Chains A and B, each alone.
Chain A
């Protein structure tokens, strides 16, 4: 117990100093190895073994697919489709933003890409029609979180890896569909109410023919998600291969069909995704060492003992876990948190009867909310940057959207069927 505390204090101190998360994980775990009289070379072994995992290859590939989609102009066409569908609803463009964020988050799997793509694709239009910037930020950032739930989602693959063997990525992907859509609907309700209160205009329905035209143009983009899901579920290719296929397919769409993808765009896509991949994979490597040290210290058992009084009530246990995830999510990023918390919380959640697929969905949503909360909230920051406003300005009015997300989280915890129904009937 003392060593666990020492480990966490060292980690917190280094994070506070602004040492990169990966290096903080590496050094704090290394100090514990010394204390345990375990040869330090173990640290190098754990890091290399942590990234020497075949299924992890899906992560860089899905990140690249998301970048390529941004460069290929898929986002813009999804916005057109959403506007033809929902432009006339209360909140007009707000609803459009949510639907397009859901669609783009769904196909790209990246909340960050979605928040920035939507911010720049739809923001200027909203400003022109009298929507406030804070509203635009609130809507586009919170809706981007649904992309973590709606497949594909490289964060779910990180979770499946952290959970060890036995969780089917196909089941996880299916498990996120209903909660993802539900979360989107909850956000739409809130966006509508806020829009009515603020007296925002609605658009008019463009008619069936333009709607169909928008749908046809957007279809190649939407098809990516379909290809990936169907491909994995039908056993045509593995999740990793599906990610490569998604990249190859987007390349073809971007170059041949949409013709929006030029050499500069291609280079940007590859370099951007290399950067993101490196930071994610570096954390995966060092978190693998950190997790190993936690395992040697038997941290899950220790935490289970702490939680024992609450564990008589499964619901209370799960809500406590979710609350801890939300707190951790305020100051840490998603990928490292998935890797650090899964081996600790998943065994406890399973002991009180939660299915690992449902846990994965809960984890995505809880940590997804963390992407929207300061001091470390990358999606919120990117959204604010895209609209050119201060974070404080967006925070003042974001709370109704937080409530919608928390309600969705509570539903995911209390109603296992939301996550498990689809995998059971299809998987």
Chain B
């Protein structure tokens, strides 16, 4: 049950990220089009695409913990014999939980500090944009906790190039 919920949440996060990406393409293409064809640049285009990118990054970050696509080095852990291997994996999960909690707490502080800083050209404040950071931290910690309890490894991906 819990597994299914977390899988659905992380899928939704990933799709939301993909949708943000699609919107970014649309907005920036529209910006070039309107500059050359309509002879005016929409003022909101630049900032709204940027906000989408920030949301996409942090929303997806949590889903990367659940689905295990973040870049990591597996050779170290793989070279360990049991029970050290299991302990190392557990420790790594604990470290991710700590990071998630820090994201939550520090992100909330950042939101508080920037709540009144307006984002130019948009009816948003920086604090509203950064709400995604504590949210992502909470989910990260939860996903990693689930793996810790199940003794699971955080899977890793091939790379970014």
Contact = CB atoms under 8 A, between A and B. Distances in A.
A and B are interacting partners: yes
Interface of A: 14-23, 26-27, 30, 40-41, 43-45, 47-48, 51-54, 56-57, 60-61, 64, 110-112, 148, 155, 236-237, 240-241, 243-245, 247-248, 267, 270-271, 273-283, 285, 331-336, 368, 371, 375-376, 378-379, 381-382
B99 A112 contact: no
A54 B120 CA distance: 13
Contacts of B46: 54
Given A155-B161, A278-B61, A52 B110 contact: no
B133 A375 contact: no
Contact of A376 (B21, B22, B89, B159): B159
Given A23-B96, A44-B107, A15 B28 contact: no
23 contacts: A17-B92, A26-B102, A30-B102, A43-B106, A44-B110, A44-B130, A44-B133, A53-B50, A57-B28, A57-B53, A245-B32, A267-B18, A270-B18, A274-B20, A274-B60, A277-B57, A279-B71, A280-B160, A281-B56, A333-B160, A375-B73, A376-B73, A382-B158
Interface residues of B, number: 62
A108 to B, nearest CB: 11
B159 A333 contact: yes
B60 to A, nearest CB: 3
A112 B160 contact: yes
A111 B95 contact: no
Contacts of B36: 236
Question: 7 closest A-B pairs (Cβ-Cβ)?
Answer: A378-B159, A278-B60, A244-B28, A20-B70, A16-B76, A44-B106, A281-B57
A305 to B, nearest CB: 30
B54 interface: yes
Considering residues A53, A112, A278, which has the most beta carbons from chain B within 10 angstroms of its beta carbon? A278
A332 B75 CA distance: 12
Contact of B99 (A26, A248, A375, A376): A26
Interface of B: 14-15, 17-22, 24-25, 27-29, 31-32, 36, 46, 49-50, 53-54, 56-57, 60-61, 63-65, 69-77, 88-89, 91-92, 95-96, 98-99, 102-103, 106-107, 109-110, 113, 130, 133, 153-154, 156-161
Contacts of A41: 106, 109-110, 113
A274 B22 CA distance: 10
Nearest to A48: B130
A16 B21 contact: no
B61 A19 contact: no
Contacts, number: 213
Given A19-B96, A61-B24, A56 B159 contact: no
Contact of B53 (A30, A56, A241, A271): A56
B32 A275 contact: no
A111 B95 CA distance: 32
Nearest to A68: B25
Contacts of A382: 158
Contacts of A381: 158-159
B57 A285 contact: yes
A282 B61 contact: yes
Nearest to B111: A44
Given A275-B64, A376-B159, A378-B161, A247 B70 contact: no
Contacts of A45: 110
A155 B161 CA distance: 8
